[in-house]
Structure 1
Amino acid sequence: MKEFIYNEMMVHVPLCTHKEPKNILIISNNASNLENEVKKHIDISSNSIACSLDEVSKLEDNKYDVVVSEMEGDSLFISQINRVLNDDGVLVIKHPNLDKIEENKSLITNLGNYFKIIMPYNIGEGSTALLCSKTYHPTADIILQRSDMLDNLEYYNCDIHPAAFAMGNNVRKTYLGIIKN
Structure 2
Amino acid sequence: MELWFTEHHNDCIGYSLKVKRTLNSEETKYQKLDVIESEFYGRVLVLDGILQTTEKDEFVYHEMIVHVPLFTHKSPKNVLIVGGGDGGAVKEILKHNTVERIVLAEIDERVVENSKKYLPSISYGLNDKKVEVMIGDGIKYVNEHKNEFDVVIVDSTDPIGPAVGLFTEDFYRSVYDCLRDDGIIVAQTESPFIYGSLINKLSKMFKKIYPIVKPYICTIPTYPGHLWTFTMGSKKYDPEAVDVNNIPEIETKYYTPELHKSSFVLPKFLKDIFEEA
Provide TM-score, normalisation by structure 2. Answer: 0.58
Q: What does residue 65 of structure 1 align with?
A: 150
CA contact (8 A) 2:190 2:228 kept: no
1:171 corresponds to 2:226: no
CA contact (8 A) 2:67 2:255 kept: yes
Q: Mapping of 1:1-181 within 5 angstroms? A: 2-42=57-97, 44-52=98-106, 53-71=138-156, 72-99=166-193, 100-125=195-220, 126-142=227-243, 144-145=245-246, 147-150=247-250, 152-176=251-275, 178=277
Aligned partners of 2:273, 2:170: CA distance in 1, in Å?
Answer: 26
Give the superposed CA RMSD. Answer: 2.0
CA contact (8 A) 1:93 1:131 kept: yes
Answer 1 or 2: higher relative contact order, Cα 8 Å, separation at least 6.
1
CA contact (8 A) 1:5 1:124 kept: yes
Which structure 1 residue ranges, 5 or more long, are not aligned? none
Count matched residues.
175
Displacement over 4 Å in runs of 4+: none
Letter in 1 for 2:189: H
Is the strand fraction higher in 1 or 2?
Answer: 2
**CA positional deviation for 1:170:** 2.3
Letter in 1 for 2:75: E
The structure with the larger Rg is 2
